[in-house]
Amino acid sequence: MENGNSRSLFIIDLIIMFAFFFAVFNHYQGATMVPLRGNILMGIIVIYWFLISVNSDILRINRLSNTITVLKNILIAYSVLSTSTIATVAIFDEFRPNDKLLLYPLLFGAIASTVLRLFYLIVIKRILKYGYRQKSVLLIGGGHSARQVIAKILSTPELGLRIRGVLSDSHLDLPLEGLYLGRLEQFPDVLRNLHIDEVIIAKPLSEAQAIRRIVEQCEEEGVRFCIVPDFFNIVPKWTVLNSLGDIPVIAVRNEPLSIFSNRMIKRSFDVVVSSAGLLILSPILLVIALAVKITSPGPVLFMQKRIGNNNAEFTLVKFRSMIVQSRLDSDTLWTIPDDKRVTPVGKILRQTNLDELPQLWNVLVGDMSIVGPRPEREHFVEKFSLEIPNYRIRHRVKSGITGLAQANGWRGDTSIQRRVENDLYYLENWSLWLDLKIVFLTFFNREAWKNAI
């Protein structure tokens, strides 16, 4: 569901929630009129759901959506909505943990919204699988790009595309008989004689003149077309079309945080969470500081230079969880399971992530963010940059106390390659909703805890 359908789904979600609120209220109160404060609460819920929707993928569901991803999105969305609603009621009114008037509508709404999305996915995929509403596609080209396009269309019926034929001046081994329709000179006749919904041009850019003629003929016949660039294997999945004056240019990596307004939203989130965290957790910080000081000789805090945003160096602060060691050792030795340098109290702190709490200060002063790629020591940045492609790209955003890689369990002595993959996904798909999702998974995803060392 996209564009206008997303707005429809947003309205349907609200109708489902409100229907259950009215039904539950009527069942338990025996009245049809909801009091004023109930109507105000429903208005607040609309605002909450709007904020959740625009900052998440909860409304972005289409024929290519993964069922597990859809289920995760709806679970996290309703968890955030429920937490926000209960917190609002608790602040302005008395909330009882067994308040059926509040909990039941949220529970039933989550179930109904999930069923609605799963039903849509099942129906639309079944429809496309059996050929209904498929687009007839004519492929132009005979090189490697053309073969990859054919393979993708044939292996992914959810795309809703059916190859009607291929035109190419060069020899092409096709997986199905009857697909080859002839040479490019037959293109005008094929367009007129066959019902073609879309033309896919998969020719090398060196044949710009031929591509231009094909485009002009498509425009004359009113047929949609798209061009597969012959360099698509060297660019990420998502690209951004920008302009240099009146010259179109392709940015090969989408970076939402390159937009000023998005950086302001993220910074505001960081300031609110870090300042509130330092204030609320101050008694716990004091207890941990005393435990570290009493049980192990040396300073309470451990400070170390790390590489952060734009490859800039900053001083990371955390509770000391190891014995005092030389700077060379602390900067160059990799932490392993059952590391002898970890103190008894430090082991508990590391397994519960409590040693990272002082980094709330790093976030507050702007060196770090609540969510982002974990910062690494210069020694290992140099090492991993040589071993792992695109490693330094993760430094285009601020380092975080937690990140997508950590929330998915890629922490401790685990694959650096998988961490980088998660970090790059975060960089290219950032949203406030993704930050909230990562914070949620950091606490409640079992995978996030199993590799703590």
Q: Which three-class secondary structure string do you get for the chain?
A: CCCHHHHHHHHHHHHHHHHHHHHHHHHHHCCCCCCHHHHHHHHHHHHHHHHHHHCCCCCCCCCCCCHHHHHHHHHHHHHHHHHHHHHHHHHHCCCCCCCHHHHHHHHHHHHHHHHHHHHHHHHHHHHHHCCCCCEEEEEECCCHHHHHHHHHHHHCHHHCEEEEEEECCCCCCCCCCCCEEECHHHHHHHHHHCCCCEEEECCCHHHHHHHHHHHHHHHHHCCEEEECCCCHHHCCCCCEEEEECCEEEEECCCCHHHCHHHHHHHHHHHHHHHHHHHHHCHHHHHHHHHHHHHHCCCCCEEEEEEECHHHCEEEEEEECCECCCCHHHHHHCCCCCCCCCECHHHHHHHHHCHHHCCHHHHHHHCCCEEECCCCECHHHHHHHHHHCCCHHHHHHCCCEEECHHHHCCCCCCCCHHHHHHHHHHHHHHCCHHHHHHHHHHHHHCCHHHHCCC
CA 342 distance to own-chain centroid: 34
pLDDT of residue 61: 80
Same domain, 395 and 268: yes
pLDDT of residue 299: 93
pLDDT of residue 261: 79
Supply the mean pLDDT for the chain: 84
Same domain, 344 and 206: no
Q: 423 or 433, which is more confident?
A: 423
Confidence of residue 24 (pLDDT cuts 50, 70, 90): confident
Same domain, 280 and 206: no
Same domain, 81 and 100: yes
Same domain, 159 and 271: no
pLDDT of residue 247: 63
pLDDT of residue 244: 56
Task: Look at residue 253 and tell me if it is in a domain.
Answer: no
Among candidate residues 44, 53, 38, 43, the one with its CA nearest the CA of residue 7: 53
Contact call for residues 359 and 368 (beta carbons, < 8 A): yes
Same domain, 82 and 116: yes
Q: Give CA–CA dist 136/150, Å, rounded.
A: 13
Task: Look at residue 276 and tell me if it is in a domain.
Answer: yes
Instruction: Please say which residue of 91, 113, 129 terminates a domain.
Output: 129
Domain holding 17, by residue range, is 4-129
Query: Which whole number is the average pLDDT over 354-370?
Result: 95
CATH number at residue 218: 3.40.50.720
Q: What CA dihedral angle connects 78, 81, 83 and 84, to 10 degrees?
A: 170
Among candidate residues 189, 192, 184, the one with its CA nearest the CA of residue 211: 184
Instruction: Work out whether strand 301-307 and strand 247-251 pair parallel, antiparallel, or are unpaired.
Output: unpaired
Same domain, 114 and 151: no
Angle (CA) 369 371 372, round 5°: 85
pLDDT of residue 69: 85
Q: In the predicted model, is pLDDT for residue 352 greater than 50?
A: yes
Q: In the predicted model, is pLDDT for residue 238 greater than 70?
A: no
Query: Which whole number is the average pLDDT over 206-224?
Result: 82
Confidence of residue 293 (pLDDT cuts 50, 70, 90): very high
pLDDT of residue 231: 65
Span of 132-136, 187-191, 341-345, 367-371 with lowest mean pLDDT: 132-136
Q: For helices 344-352 and 282-295, what crossing angle results, to 10°?
A: 150
Same domain, 194 and 111: no
Q: Give CA–CA dist 451/351, Å, rounded.
A: 8
Q: Give CA–CA dist 60/54, Å, rounded.
A: 10
Confidence of residue 189 (pLDDT cuts 50, 70, 90): confident
Task: Look at residue 240 and tell me if it is in a domain.
Answer: no
Q: What's the pLDDT tens digit per position in 401-412?
A: 999 999 998 887
Amino acid at 340: K
Task: Look at residue 444 and tell me if it is in a domain.
Answer: yes
Same domain, 306 and 443: yes
Q: pLDDT over 90 for what percent of the chain?
A: 27
Task: Look at residue 269 and tell me if it is in a domain.
Answer: yes
pLDDT of residue 168: 85
Confidence of residue 148 (pLDDT cuts 50, 70, 90): confident
Instruction: Please say which residue of 234, 250, 272 terminates a domain.
Output: 234
Entry field: residues in the chain: 453
Confidence of residue 4 (pLDDT cuts 50, 70, 90): very low
Task: Look at residue 246 and tell me if it is in a domain.
Answer: no
Instruction: Please say which residue of 75, 99, 129 terminates a domain.
Output: 129
Same domain, 285 and 195: no
Provide the whole-model pTM: 0.65
pLDDT of residue 2: 47
Task: Look at residue 242 and tell me if it is in a domain.
Answer: no
Instruction: Work out whether strand 161-167 and strand 180-182 pair parallel, antiparallel, or are unpaired.
Output: parallel
Same domain, 114 and 145: no
Structural tokens at position 200: 């896919």
Burial per residue of 352-387, b for 16 or more beta-carbon CB atoms within 10 angstroms, e otherwise: ebbbbbbbbebbbeebbbbbbbbbbbeebbebbeee
Task: Look at residue 357 and tell me if it is in a domain.
Answer: yes
Same domain, 367 and 426: yes
Q: In the predicted model, is pLDDT for residue 391 greater than 60?
A: yes
pLDDT of residue 451: 66
Confidence of residue 124 (pLDDT cuts 50, 70, 90): confident
pLDDT of residue 93: 65
Q: What's the domain count of the chain?
A: 3
Q: 378 or 169, which is more confident?
A: 378
Q: What's the pLDDT tens digit per position in 39-94?
A: 788 888 888 888 888 877 888 887 777 888 888 888 888 888 888 888 888 777 65
pLDDT of residue 1: 45
